[in-house]
Amino acid sequence: MARINDNYLKLAAGYLFPEISRRVDAFRESHPDAAIIPLGIGDVVLPLPQSVRDAMHRAVDELGTDEGFRGYGPYEGYDFLREAIAEGDFRSRGVEVSPDEIFVSDGSKCDSANIQEIFAQSATIAVPDPVYPVYVDTNVMAGRTGVADADGRYQGIEYLPCTEQNGFLPEPPSRPVDLVYLCFPNNPTGAVADRAALGRWVAWARENGAVLLFDAAYELYIGEPELPHSIYEIEGARECAIEFRSFSKSAGFTGVRCGYVVIPRELEGRDESGRAVGLHGLWARRSNTKFNGASYPVQCGAAAVYTDAGRREILANRDYYMANARQIRQGLDELGFTVYGGVNAPYVWLKTPGGAGSWDFFDAMLERANVVGTPGAGFGACGEGFFRLSAFGREDAIKEAIDRIRQAFGS
Amino acid sequence: MARINDNYLKLAAGYLFPEISRRVDAFRESHPDAAIIPLGIGDVVLPLPQSVRDAMHRAVDELGTDEGFRGYGPYEGYDFLREAIAEGDFRSRGVEVSPDEIFVSDGSKCDSANIQEIFAQSATIAVPDPVYPVYVDTNVMAGRTGVADADGRYQGIEYLPCTEQNGFLPEPPSRPVDLVYLCFPNNPTGAVADRAALGRWVAWARENGAVLLFDAAYELYIGEPELPHSIYEIEGARECAIEFRSFSKSAGFTGVRCGYVVIPRELEGRDESGRAVGLHGLWARRSNTKFNGASYPVQCGAAAVYTDAGRREILANRDYYMANARQIRQGLDELGFTVYGGVNAPYVWLKTPGGAGSWDFFDAMLERANVVGTPGAGFGACGEGFFRLSAFGREDAIKEAIDRIRQAFGS
């Protein structure tokens, strides 16, 4: 029989969200009448913006005509979208990113999963703890780790603790590593890094020859004006950082699928012989060989986000979700929970009461309030004792969830 | 600096199609008035079918409503599509494939590029020569090969010659290998394997514990009724084959992006210790971790292909392209070219006149007829001396191309 990739067998249990689904399905089966409120997976609920839908309709109609039909698009995305992104997400904030440094994809999960492929198998990795599981699992699958210990930590990965003590802002690793995954506003803790904190990371990366893999999927949720939205707002980041962006949480694209990655021309790695090699060219080669571009109607929909009408719509949706975040924070605060996040991020990170284990609290929350959240331990050892609630819900569902939590956990 | 994946540097020149684009762009620049006819990349030209567009419009509208909005879909694709596929592509031909053995993706290029990840880095590979470059390049990038020789053949890959002598039907390798890529109807040669030929492959794979990676992206173009459309029409294939399907060439989805892969539950590989491991579970884990499902409106469009109206539309488009293929075959035949393919496949594989090198013939065809084809050598050493013309064009453009070829190359 063909030899399989043994690294897959090192993966602990299932990927986090399927495990949550499994438990929810089991609960649903034994409690068919329970009206479960899902605040776990962080999925948007508001309708796809009108301007996005209009653009998608136009694109579909265009594909129905002899003159307008388009087949294979550019692997890296259509220029109309790359230019809209360069202008709307960067130039408008005083950041210079060229359209040809932008690679459009079918979603940020794919990008943040695939980026590790252009680096050596021997490349060393650091990740915050807790962390979005995709960063870790994809490196396990690529053979960059040993097996997991009892806490689910893999040998060979440097974990950077994010704790109440450090305000969930990890410190750079004590030894040099090749790659560091960072995500701000953070999933799952909701923490956000200011200019000084990101500046320290950029300085450290340049000093140590590391590449920062910066996930900015939640940048739209930054409310405080002085906070940076892009790593490239930090001087020197073009020589040390790749940035990931997503239309999922900003424009309701979780089911429509579009994201992008920025790889500056200056960014380099080194080959076996020590020679510098541009990462932009490596990622272009990967895209050319393994990807055939994002769906054309989807790219048209994404471009509509940068019109005035589109911008208004996504900001209105953001405000809706952030009002939910405030409501969750306030409700939990009144109940005496210790809460973090939810200010510049759509996630509230709460301390489980009485030091309960986070999967135990997950089960209690599901059984007693019929509310689904995400156990912090699912994001890493330092997530133990914490629990993530997502602000991506209907206003009335959020209100109902808080009421039920009050009844279940209030004194 | 971070260590890069040195295997990328082994890749010869660019990926084939970007190299063609480069040459065409250069020609266009020096001949701005030339009306180039593109029969190179194999891209469809007919409008997206009405039934597909209707379904996509409905899906986009649905996403605009409170009740109809859907966020993250199932990683493996929506049941409505997986069920339509199982019925329409398999059960209707007497083949048993269960919906949960079908993984829907954003395109077959991604699937055939990514499948190698679930196998060991030490897994041995055989590919036909000539071959779709993605099969080879993705294994080079994964580190399964040495460097390329002067013919572009990589050390460590077993090449299976497809020649005029064997009717472009490769023989199984002389030594056991883990994985064999096969594609019928074939890209680029247009050859097709009958039941007996596929039966020999399945018997060989079972005897040698190999997995066949069977690319059936062009199955709709099979015209002769006795030919198999799926590897699973062959007894025993469920224990040794993975099949790739695409909506690109059948339903005009090259820019819309949808495909799928079938991994039967019976199919197993072995881990380091020799223990059997189901490949279905490994691919599910990859999908869960690195992919977030294909776009919802796209999946709705794909499902429409299985309605009566959708089926009628895609068959009409197929007939249109196959009339082109006949015209190309006949035109070239009259000019004294030796031609293959174009009967059960949308590609015509012609022998370059006078034993010309295929890139030289590419340049001559571009300069003298302003027609773009694909040099056979771009698909492998055995493609040298051959040239691929695609039937995916407008009827009038095909006619014009043949006229120009007659003027340029006729005696």
Task: Give the Cβ contact number of residue B319 at 10 Å.
Answer: 11
Distance from CA of A226 to the nearest CA of B (A): 31
| Cβ–Cβ pairs < 8 A, chains A and B | 266
A4 contacts in B (CB within 8 Å)?
118-120, 269-271, 277, 279, 282
Over pLDDT 70: what percentage of chain A?
Answer: 99
pLDDT band at A14 (very low <50, low <70, confident <90, very high): low
CB contact B117 to A (< 8 Å): yes
| Bridging pattern class, strands A125-129 and A179-183 | parallel
Mean pLDDT of A234-257: 98
Tokens of A65: 């005509």
Q: Does A109 contact B292 at a Cβ distance shorter than 8 Å?
A: yes
Which amino acid type is present at position A331?
G
Asked if A118 lies within 8 A of B53 by C-beta distance, the reply is no
Residue B159: DSSP 8-state? E
d(CA B173, CA B243): 20
Distance (Å, whole) CA B388 – CA B375: 6
Asked if the Cβ–Cβ distance from A285 to B257 is below 8 Å, we say no
- Chain B residues with CB under 8 Å of A134 CB are 289-290
DSSP assignment of B325-383, as one string? HHHHHHHHHHTT--EEE-SSSSEEEEEPGGG--HHHHHHHIIIII-EE-EEGGGG-GGG
- Beta strand pairing status for B371-372 and B347-351? unpaired
Determine phi and psi for B154, rounding to 5 degrees.
Answer: -85, 140
Q: What's the CA gap between A188 and A138, in Å, rounded?
A: 18
Instruction: Count Cα atoms within 13 angstroms, Cβ side, for A272.
Output: 7
Helix, strand or coil, per DSSP, at residue B23: helix
Q: What integer is the mean pLDDT of A171-199?
A: 97
Render pLDDT for A18-58 as a digit per residue (tens, 0 to 9).
Answer: 789 899 999 999 999 999 999 988 899 999 999 999 999 99
Instruction: Tell me the C-alpha to C-alpha distance, in Å, between residue A386 and each of A189, A317, A337, A379.
Output: 9, 27, 11, 10
Taking only the tens place, the pLDDT of each residue in A264-295 is 999 999 999 999 999 999 999 999 999 999 99
Q: Which one of B48, B141, B178 makes the best mutation probe of the A interface by having the most chain A beta carbons within 10 Å?
A: B48
Residue A316's nearest CA partner among A391, A190, A220, A386 is: A220
Dig out the tokens for A212 from the structure. 């920062």
**Chain B, 37-76: which have a CB under 8 Å from a chain A CB?**
41, 43-48, 50, 53, 56-57, 60-61, 63-66, 68-73
Are B158 and B171 in contact by the 8 Å Cβ rule? The answer is: no
**CATH topology classification for A53-308:** Aspartate Aminotransferase; domain 2 (3.40.640)
3-state DSSP assignment of residue B30: helix
Chain A partners within 8 Å of B288 (Cβ): 14-15, 17-18
- How far apart (Å, rounded) are the C-alpha atoms in residues A50 and A39? 25
CATH class, A12-47+309-409 region:
alpha beta
- Cα dist from B38 to A218, A262, B221, B410, whole Å: 42, 32, 20, 20
Q: Which of residues 89-108 of B touch A (CB under 8 A)?
A: 106-107
DSSP for B50-111, please give it: HHHHHHHHHHHHHTTSTTT---S--TT--HHHHHHHIIIIIGGGT----GGGEEEES-HHHH
Residue B258 tokens, joined: 């949808």
Asked if residue A185 has a cis previous peptide bond (ω within 30° of 0), the answer is yes
- One-letter-per-residue 3-state SS of chain A: CCEECHHHHHCCCCCHHHHHHHHHHHHHHHCCCCCCEECCCCCCCCCCCHHHHHHHHHHHHHCCCCCCCCCCCCCCCCHHHHHHHHHHHHHHHCCCCCHHHEEEECCHHHHHHHHHHHECCCCCEEEEECCCHHHHHHHHHCCCCCCECCCCCECCEEEEECCCCCCCCCCCCCCCCCEEEEECCCCCCCCCCCHHHHHHHHHHHHHHCCEEEEECCCHHHCCCCCCCCCHHHCCCHHHCEEEEEECHHHHCCCCCCCEEEECCCCCEEECCCCCEEEHHHHHHHHHHHHCCCCCHHHHHHHHHCCCHHHHHHHHHHHHHHHHHHHHHHHHHHHCCCCEEECCCCCEEEEECHHHCCHHHHHHHHHHHHCEECEEHHHHCHHHCCEEEEECCCCHHHHHHHHHHHHHHHCC
CA–CA dist B378, A109 (Å, integer): 33
Query: CATH topology for B53-307?
Result: Aspartate Aminotransferase; domain 2 (3.40.640)
Half-sphere exposure of A252 (CA within 13 A, CB side): 30
Please, is A334 exposed, middle or buried when counting C-beta atoms within 10 Å of its C-beta (0-12, 13-18, 19+)? exposed
| Cα–Cα dist B270/B120, whole Å | 10
To the nearest whole angstrom, how far is the Cα of A13 from the nearest Cα of chain B?
Answer: 10
Residues A54-86, buried b or exposed e (16+ Cβ, 10 A)? Answer: bbbbebbebbbeeeebbbbbbbbbbeebbbbbb
User: Which A positions 334-393 lie with beta carbon below 8 A of chain B?
Assistant: none
> Rounded to whole angstroms, how far apart are CA atoms B5 and B392?
37
Complex confidence, ipTM: 0.97
Q: What is the pLDDT of residues A333-367, one digit of tens each?
A: 999 999 999 999 999 999 999 999 999 999 999 99
**Measured on CA atoms in the order A117, A121, A123, A124, is the torsion positive or negative?**
positive
Phi and psi torsions of A90, nearest 5°: -125, -65
Q: Are B71 and A3 within 8 A, CB to CB?
A: no
Q: Which of A20, A22, A52, A60 to mutate to test the interface with B (most CBs of B within 10 A)?
A: A60
pLDDT tens profile A63-91 = 999 999 999 999 999 999 999 999 999 99
Using CA atoms, how far apart are residues B361 and B350, in angstroms rounded to an integer?
A: 11
For residue A109, give how far its alpha carbon lies from the nearest alpha carbon of chain B (Å). Answer: 6
What count of other Cβ atoms lies within 10 Å of the Cβ of residue A38?
20
CB-based contact A47 B57, cutoff 8 Å: no
Distances (CA, A) of A134 to A3, A109, A373, B290: 24, 7, 18, 7
Minimum Cα–Cα distance from A54: chain B residue: B60
Domain boundaries, chain A: 12-47+309-409, 53-308
Position A17 confidence tier, pLDDT thresholds 50, 70, 90: confident
User: For residues B13 and B375, what is the distance between their CA atoms, to the nearest angstrom?
Assistant: 15
B386-390, strands of its sheet edge to edge: B339-341, B347-351, B386-390, B374-375
What is the architecture, at CATH level 2, of domain B6-47+309-409? Alpha-Beta Complex (3.90)
Q: At what angle do helices B50-62 and B308-334 cross, to 10 degrees?
A: 140
How far is A58 from A78, CA to CA, in rounded Å? 16
* Token pair of A228 as six digits: 């940076």
Tell me how far CA of residue B199 lies from CA of B128, B227, B264, in angstroms.
17, 12, 18
Tokens of A305: 């986000």
The whole-number pLDDT of residue B118 equals 98
What is the pLDDT at residue B367?
97
Question: pLDDT value at position A13?
Answer: 62
Residues 276-335 (B) with a CB less than 8 A from some CB of A: 276-277, 279, 282, 285-286, 288-298
> Which helix (H) or strand (E) element contains residue B268?
strand B268-270
Q: What is the DSSP letter of B238?
A: G
CB-based contact B48 A69, cutoff 8 Å: yes
Q: How far apart are CA B300 and CA B295, in angstroms?
A: 9
Q: Give me the pLDDT at residue A397, please.
A: 97
Contact B70 A279 (CB under 8 A): no
The total of other beta-carbon atoms located within 10 Å of residue A35's CB is 9
Which chain A residues are within 8 Å of B178, Cβ to Cβ? 2-3
Residue A155, judged by CB atoms within 10 A of its CB (0-12, 13-18, 19+), counts as exposed
Q: Any chain A CB within 8 A of the CB of B255? A: yes
Give me the pLDDT at residue A376, please. Answer: 96
| Tens place of pLDDT per residue across chain B (411 aa) | 999 999 999 997 656 777 898 999 999 999 999 999 999 888 999 999 999 999 999 999 999 999 999 999 999 999 999 999 999 999 999 999 999 999 999 999 999 999 999 999 999 999 999 999 999 999 999 999 999 998 889 999 999 999 999 999 999 999 999 999 999 999 999 999 999 999 999 999 999 999 999 999 999 999 999 999 999 999 999 999 999 999 999 999 999 999 999 999 999 999 999 999 999 999 999 999 999 999 999 999 999 999 999 999 999 999 999 999 999 999 999 999 999 999 999 999 999 999 999 999 999 999 999 999 999 999 999 999 999 999 999 999 999 999 999 999 987
Measured CA to CA, the distance from residue A347 to residue A344 in angstroms comes to: 9
For strand B339-341 and strand B347-351, is the pairing parallel, antiparallel, or unpaired?
antiparallel
Distance of alpha carbon B356 from its chain centroid, rounded? Answer: 26
Out of B6, B41, B45, the one facing A69 most closely (by C-beta) is: B45
Among B218, B137, B259, which residue's Cα sits nearest to residue B388? B218
- Cβ pair B53:A69 closer than 8 A: no
Residues B401/B39, Cβ–Cβ less than 8 Å: yes
